[in-house]
Amino acid sequence: MNVVITQRHNSPAVTPQALAWDGNYLWMSSRDLGTLYKIDTSRWKIVQEIDPPGTVWTGVSLGNGNMCFTIGKGLNDDRYVYRYKPEDGFSRMFACPEFTGSYLSFDGQNLYMSQWYKKRVLKFDDNGNVTREIDVGAEICGHTFTNGWLYVLRGQEQPSEDWRIARLNPKGETPAVEDIGVVPFACRSLTFDGEYFWSNYRANNEIISFVLPN
């Protein structure tokens, strides 16, 4: 069954890429403009525009206004994880393994990052060392934690965009990945605001919220 779409919004900037919910605002990046935005979803209005030190591919809230972002740098788009604090700005934390990595999630203690074509999610310690690898069995275009579960957008980009939202319990030794809904658009990024999941339909310059099938 398809997920149930609850809202469709025109993106305030072209090619919406990263999405993250900080408890009050939705953060979004534009892949092509290279800019980061905070959006008041109640008014669907940009309340802050931030200039990051590279292309922001994904972000996640760590709480208390602190964020982490995967940022691409240079001609090869080498990927690094940066921390952002409102009072200090951006600071580089560590390089992604093989300089590749995209989407981030946070379980309240540890940072997780997916590698799209390797079909896996990596868990990091505070020093950026990989402490665990979770095989998701398909390409990954977003993930987020909710109530201890890791929700993952998985599927394939080619030859035609085909995506599902799946769920797994990361505490298991070998987590079973369960598909729970079809996402009927070419989704990019995943976050949860306590009520709705949010994802980008980047090719259509839309930001969409949805709930799981009944």
- Edge-to-edge strand list for the sheet holding 26-30: 16-21, 26-30, 36-40, 45-50
Beta-ladder partners of 56: 71
- The pLDDT, as a whole number, for residue 15 is 98
Question: By CB neighbour count within 10 A (0-12 exposed, 13-18 middle, 19+ buried), where does 157 fall?
Answer: middle
Whole-prediction pTM value?
0.96
- pLDDT attached to residue 122: 97
Task: Report the chain (214 residues): mean pLDDT per 10 consecutive residues.
Answer: 98 97 97 97 97 97 94 96 96 95 95 95 94 96 97 96 97 91 98 98 98 94
Question: In the chain, where are the structural domains located?
Answer: 4-211
pLDDT, residue 78, reads: 97
Tell the CATH superfamily of the 4-211 domain: TolB, C-terminal domain (2.120.10.30)
Q: Is-contact 162 153, C-beta < 8 A?
A: no
Instruction: Give the CA distances from residue 175 to residues 40, 64, 100, 119, in Å, rounded to whole numbers and listed in that order.
Output: 36, 30, 23, 14
Residue-level length of the chain: 214
* Structure tokens that stand for 28 in this block: 């979004």
Maximum Cα–Cα distance across the chain: 45
Are 93 and 82 a contacting pair, CB within 8 Å? yes
147: left (phi over 0), alpha (psi -120 to 50) or beta: left
